[in-house]
Amino acid sequence: MTDQEKIDNPTFFTCGGYLKKIAYKDAFIASWENADHSDRIRVKDLPNFDADIFYEISGIDLRENR
């Protein structure tokens, strides 16, 4: 936790932390950035994978030539 997060959440010591809320698209993008190359290929190779739908849900643009 940053010093500011500790100030903003004074009960962090009792609870052992706090619940950090992240928008799901931001979490999706962070997860994608941390995924290794083989995991990214597995996602793209899923049956019926649609890059347009994936972009709409995740905010990650895998569409080619757009």
pTM of the model: 0.68
Give CA torsion, residues 26, 30, 35, 39, to 10 deg: 0
Chain segment 38-56, per-residue pLDDT in tens:
999 999 999 999 999 999 9
Residue 63 covered by a domain: yes
Domain tally, the chain: 1
Residue 39 covered by a domain: yes
Determine the structural domain holding residue 53 and report its residue range. 22-66
Q: Contact 26/9 with Cβ under 8 angstroms?
A: no
Neighbours of 12 (CB within 10 A): 14
Residue 15 covered by a domain: no
Cα gap 18→51, rounded to integer Å: 35
Residue 28 covered by a domain: yes
Residue 33 covered by a domain: yes
pLDDT score of 66 more than 60? no
Residue 37 covered by a domain: yes
